[in-house]
Amino acid sequence: MTHYETLGIDPAASQADIKAGFRRAAQASHPDREGGSDEAMAKVNRAYEVLSDPERRQKYDTTGDDAPELSQEDKAKKLLVELFRQALAEPGNIVKQTHLKLRRMQSSAEAKLVDLRRQVVKLEKRGALVQVSKGENLVWMLVSAQIDAAKAEMQALEDAIKTAQAAEGLLRDYSSSEEEDGSVARAYGLEAAFAAEIRRAQAFGFDFGRTA
């Protein structure tokens, strides 16, 4: 059952219709009334909570998702937890690895944004060049749909950049004395150089196994 069905209203209902539907449904579902229950009342309250908020209603109509939008800080924390989880599975300094991944995420998103903006400009220019003498301009309809899709993707990328920036702000409170992966690599490099020096000395007849 949809939230609209719960309130007994049409999907095209106005805010006034939603409020009136809520009042009717709340009276019928109240636990103190015959046929009512706490569960039914909770569903009515949930439906009204979603449909009375224009942004959440639009999201529900588009995706069917009625979960409340996370705050920017909560999104940043969720991202940090995931990056920390990844970093724990890899060698090296967890904090610095996470910072590097955040920077790469931002750089990648910014590059995609630039590309999408160019695509939108190109589509608008090309679409404007096509005229139709009669009926709907099917080319422009297609162009408009592609532009809308690109703009939706751009919005998602901009949100991702903001989340990464907020996560970077939270990450400033963290520090780690753990060795960087580069330090490990340098250690391996020194070991290899030392082994090469031993081989070179052995080539000149020095035997590291002999004692005085």
Give domain limits for the chain.
Answer: 3-63, 72-178, 179-212
Report the topology of domain 3-63: Helix Hairpins (1.10.287)
Residue with the two structure tokens 């955040």: 102
Instruction: Give the pLDDT of residue 65.
Output: 86
- Determine the longest span between alpha carbons in the chain, in angstroms: 104
pLDDT, tens digit, 9 for 90 and up, residues 94-153: 999 999 999 999 999 999 999 999 999 999 999 999 999 999 999 999 999 999 999 989
Q: Is 135 left (phi over 0), alpha (psi -120 to 50) or beta?
A: left
Residue with the two structure tokens 């196994």: 209
d(CA 30, CA 104): 53
d(CA 107, CA 48): 41
pLDDT, tens digit, 9 for 90 and up, residues 35-78: 899 999 999 999 999 999 998 898 899 889 888 778 899 999 99
Answer for the pair 178, 94: CB distance below 8 angstroms, yes or no: yes
